[in-house]
Structure 1
Amino acid sequence: MDYQLFLQLTLTGLAWGSVYALVALSFVLIFKATDTFNFAQPEIMMLGAYIGFTLVSVFHLPFFLGFVLTMLIMAVLTALMEMMVVRPLVGEPMLSIVMITIGLAYVIQGFVGMTWGYEEFEYPSPFPTDPILFGEVVISQAELYTIICTAILLVVFFLFFKFSSSGITLRATAEDTTAAFLMGINVKRVFTGSWVIAGL
């Protein structure tokens, strides 16, 4: 295989892989805090993308303002999802929570389909369209920033869980919810916070 073609495919793969890494990161965040799997997480991220698209493309808000508003809206929505859908099942068998998150995923899919339809939309890019050249290897600015931001987030969350008091609190809650509660940790707040952060 040509060396330049190999580099081109590697960079493109890293860009696409970074998107999937962000999804995986949100899975891990909730699992680390609650010891449960949220199978609705991809649909939650999809919902955020459609809300952001609507704010920027339909209401013509500046990209940064639309981004901030989307994060605020998703923070509220994910907090409500955790409190109204998942929290009543705390203490139930893992299978019950798995099934309820799968059901939540189908509800979000149906809501998005009824609201925005099933056709594809082109999300407006905040980055310049001029590609970046590394020799003869070409990468778009959106792909490059996606790789960089994902790498930064991975490092930040690793340090957060490893060394920060909040991260240790999340891990302790997932390890033993009862013991964490007896130590004075607000378990409900930890659960809600993990859903909110993952939903952003």
Structure 2
Amino acid sequence: MTNTAWDTYSKQKPERRPTNAAGETTWFNWTQYADHGPGAEVLGIRPGATVLDLGCGKGGNLAHVAALDARAVGVDVSLAQLKAAESRWVDAGMVLHRTDAVWFLTESGEHFDAIYSVFGAAWFTDPTELLPAIRERLRPGGVLAFSQRPAIEGCYGCQASYINRSEDEDPLVVKRWDYEPERWVEILHQHGFTAATARVLPAPPGQRTIGTLLVRAHG
């Protein structure tokens, strides 16, 4: 079901633009809005770093990581998403794996200087399973960062997300995990992360009022 859901989502998600507002061919975007919010500096990536994208989708952010002279590794459960990433960023030098995030973290044996998720696996995986696995693979002092939509007031913990199909088909259901920023900080500290912060980035002027939750911590 999960693979089917994200393959369906891949067909609905528009392709990343050829260039951003600054004319760059690769860029990092934490939010759901174009040319908005911080960039890859959140991860503190240096040349030669090894960086993991959990739920890399069509590879736009990961291609920018590769352009920063880092080893760019991405995992996603959707074959359609990964094929799109391989087609668009064929020369980027990304390493892509079709697998579940927790399984990869548990079985790969590789360690990372930064691990991130942009509306990806960190939103759609039980944090009691994902965070310990990330903690094991994040090098000491490494950065974990993830972004997603803020929680709806009063709706916390495991929630249902819906991916629409045709009018004749029921929507596909996937689970997501929503918490207020203060609760994310507590959860990260409980799993051994340090210097955890969580904040909601406001939507850009003239857009909808839904901001973006951005969470960051050190291993």
Question: What TM-score, normalized by structure 1, do the two folds share?
Answer: 0.24
Larger relative CO (CA 8 A, sep 6+): 1 or 2?
1
User: If each structure's helix is expressed as a fraction of its own residues, which one has the higher value?
Assistant: 1
Higher relative strand content: 2
Could you say which structure has the larger radius of gyration? Answer: 1
